[in-house]
Amino acid sequence: MKLAHTMIRVKDLDATLDFYTNFIGLKEVRRKEIGDEAVLVFLADENEHYHVELTYNNDGRDYDLGDQFGHLAFFTDDLEKVVADVESRGWWYRRSKATVGSKYIFVKDPNGYDIEVLERR
């Protein structure tokens, strides 16, 4: 089997699209409207190796993130460049400890989901 996509429910579609396209670097590859109920937006990396589905429900409902879902993780070749970008935007982030073998940060997307950005080794 092969992973098809990961779906997350979003509160603000425009802010979420801005985060995942302009900050993370994904591109919108498909959009599907389900009547007046919802909009599904599929994002992928440049090679379309994976997809993230953003589901926006038009009824204005709110979501409780709970504590079951962990996080989405993305690779970067230059973590310091990402950190500078995050700092210029005034976003909160948490950096990995120096004693940990890998370098990463955690930021939150506009919906409160944890996003890990890992420096590729």
25-59 pLDDT tens trace: 999 999 999 999 999 999 999 988 878 999 999 99
pLDDT tens digit sequence for 94-104: 999 888 788 99
CATH code, 70-121: 3.10.180.10
Q: Using an 8 Å Cβ cutoff, are 57 and 37 in contact?
A: yes
Domain boundaries, the chain: 1-58, 70-121
**Residue that wins the pLDDT comparison between 49 and 10:** 10
Q: What is the pTM of this model?
A: 0.84
In CATH terms, the fold of domain 1-58 is 2,3-Dihydroxybiphenyl 1,2-Dioxygenase; domain 1 (3.10.180)
Intrachain domains 1-58 and 70-121 with the same fold: yes
60-69: long-range contacts at Cβ-Cβ below 8 A with a sequence spacing of 24 or more? 62/11, 63/9, 63/11, 63/111, 65/111, 65/112, 65/113, 69/113
What value does the mean pLDDT take over residues 58-64? 85
The pLDDT score that the predictor gives to residue 72 is 92
The pLDDT score that the predictor gives to residue 1 is 65
Helices (H), 1-121: 13-18, 79-89
User: Cα(23)–Cα(114) distance, rounded to whole angstroms?
Assistant: 14
User: Cα(80)–Cα(86) distance, rounded to whole angstroms?
Assistant: 10
Give the residue numbers marked as catalytic: 116
What value does the mean pLDDT take over residues 86-91? 97
Strand partners, 54: 8, 41
**52 Cβ contact list (under 8 Å, min separation 6):** 5, 6, 7, 8, 20, 26, 42, 43, 44, 72
Question: In Å, how far are 59, 75, 76, 104 from 98, measured between CA atoms?
Answer: 45, 18, 18, 10
